[in-house]
Structure 1
């Protein structure tokens, strides 16, 4: 079972602004129009890469960027493909009723997690306005995926890129499962250390695992193994910003090729590979039945 833990829903001509697409895709070498994940494209990409399921993300940045990928849109996709998608809602804590919208998305629309984008919204993930949202997520028993690390979006606030901003949240909500997106790139080392301090924290490899050199990826995984947190690292792509097929191939090579690994570190074992590629994601969502060893 392979689960991509970071996949964006949305279509270029329906959801994203041209300016946002220009900024985001410029770093990938793909045209702005590639920032699009229509239903057929998503399924075809997953099938080609051997990806069984995906965390499919809504994206509420309307207050700053002027657009959103609505929770309802993601819920409709998940309803049509319940065996392929695990839907994550998105809310903006700076708009009134955010916690209520999250509750509605989970209890009425059937979504299974929360995606937040603090730096895109120009606010810290530890801003007190998020706390009602976090408390609602904790009460509902859902994981929260938080953007951490760099983004090329020009309206984003760089003061809120660092994953270390989540430390007080991890401390104040010890029962809330929080996924730090992108392994906090470029703060990957501090991100691993943050996981070591707080057992409720997880991290995904999206973008980082898809584009960084194999030795850099292997070094981060070796660090996570050394600190005893490799079982809280999830594979993800950030599709459509990266392809699933190439990312799966890159991860598979890290189980066979010892050359990228630091001295004294072995490639991923079969058990580690299965956990990173899907087992941990299934466990995190409360659906271990999704994963067959």
Structure 2
């Protein structure tokens, strides 16, 4: 079982703005038009890479960026492919009623996690406006995937890039499952140390595992193993920002090449590799649970927080 724990839904022009796509792809070999994951492209990429399931993310940055990938859109995709797609809602705590929208996305649309974008929304993840959202996620028993680390979006606020801002959230919500996206790149070592201090924290390797030199990734994984948190890391790509096929190949090579690993550290064992590539994700969100069929918006009763 291979699970990509960080995949974006949405299509260029239909959802993402041209300006945002240009900024996000400027330092890559991708064209802005490549920032698109239509249904057929997503499923074909999964098949080519041997990926069994993905965590598919909505993305609510309407207030700052002027666009969103709606929860309803993600829910419809997941309902068509319940055996392959697990949907995450997205809400903006800077807009009143965010906790109610999250509850509706889970109980009404069948989404099974929450994706937040604090720096894109120019808010700290520890901003108290998020706390009702976190309380709702905790009560619903869903994980919260938080963007941490750098982003090339010019509207994002760099004051809120650091993964260490999540420490207060981990203290205040010790029973909330949190996944730190991108291993906090470039603050990967502090991110691993943060996981070691808080048992409810996890992290995904999206972007970091796909673009950093393999030896750099191996050093981070070795540090995670030495810190006792390797079993709380999840492989992910950030597709369509990165290729699933390329990342799977990189991880397989890294797992078996001792020359990439720091002196005194062994490559990943089969058990460690299986956990990283899907086992930990399956533990956080049991993958056999069925996806709800979305209720038509006209008949859906909205919850008011």
What band does the TM-score fall into relative to the shorter chain?
over 0.9
CA distance in 2, matches of 1:94, 1:225: 37
CA distance in 2, matches of 1:13, 1:44: 21
Q: CA deviation at 1:254?
A: 1.6
**Partner residue, 1:62:** 62
SS of the residue 2:259 aligns to: coil
Q: Check conservation: 1:282, 1:289, Cα contact below 8 A.
A: no
Structure 1 segments of 4+ aligned residues over 6 angstroms from their partners: none
Contact 1:282–1:288 (CA under 8 A) maintained in structure 2? no
In structure 2, what is the Cα distance between the partners aligned to 1:178 and 1:157? 21
1:254 aligned onto 2:254: yes
* Cα-to-partner distance string for 1:118-177 (whole Å, 9 max, x where unaligned): 000000000000000000000000000000000000000000000000000001000000
Other-structure match for 2:300: none
Once the two structures are TM-superposed, the CA of residue 287 in structure 1 deviates from its matched residue by: 4.0
Give the structure-1-normalised TM-score. Answer: 0.98
Over the residues paired in the alignment, what is the CA RMSD in angstroms?
1.0
The structural deviation recorded for 1:27 is 1.8
Give how far 1:62 is off.
Answer: 0.2
* 1:232 matched residue in structure 2: 232
- Separation in 2 of the partners of 1:58 and 1:167? 24
- Unpaired runs of 5+ residues, structure 1, are none
* Distance of 1:263 and 1:184 partners within structure 2: 24
1:102 corresponds to which residue? 102
Greater shift, 200-209 or 249-258, is seen at: 249-258
Q: Tell me, in whole angstroms, the C-alpha distance in 2 between the residues paired with 1:265 and 1:193.
A: 18
- Distance verdict in 2 for CA 1:221–1:136, change over 3 Å: same
Q: CA deviation at 1:13?
A: 2.0
Deviation per CA, 1:11-42, whole angstroms, max 9, x where unpaired? 00200111000000112211000000000000
* 1:144 paired residue number: 144
Greater RCO structure (CA 8 Å; 6+ sep): 2
1:105 & 1:68 partners in 2: Cα distance? 15
Asked if the contact 2:83/2:288 (under 8 Å) is kept, the reply is: no
Q: Please identify, of 22-31 and 119-128, the stretch whose mean Cα deviation from structure 2 is larger.
A: 22-31
- The equivalent of 2:3 in structure 1 is 3
TM-score by length of 2: 0.94
1:207-246 correspondence to structure 2 within 5 Å: 207-246=207-246
Distance 1:261 1:86 in 2: 33
Partner of 1:156: 156
Q: SS at 1:24's partner residue?
A: helix
Query: Aligned partners of 2:215 and 2:68: how far apart in 1?
Result: 36
1 CA distance for matches of 2:207 and 2:94?
27
Name stretches of at least 5 consecutive residues in structure 2 with no aligned partner. Answer: 291-305
Deviations 1:184-229 (A, max 9, x none): 0000000000000000000000000000001100000000000000
How many residues were matched structurally? 290
SS of 1:203's equivalent in the other structure is: strand
User: Does the CA contact (< 8 Å) of 2:7 and 2:240 recur in 1?
Assistant: yes
Structure 1 contact 2–52 (Cα < 8 Å) conserved: yes
Could you report, residue by residue, the CA deviation over 1:65-102 in whole angstroms, capped at 9, with x for unpaired residues?
00000000000000000011000000000101000000
Secondary structure of the structure 1 residue equivalent to 2:256: coil
Q: How does 1:63-102 map to 2 (within 5 A)?
A: 63-102=63-102
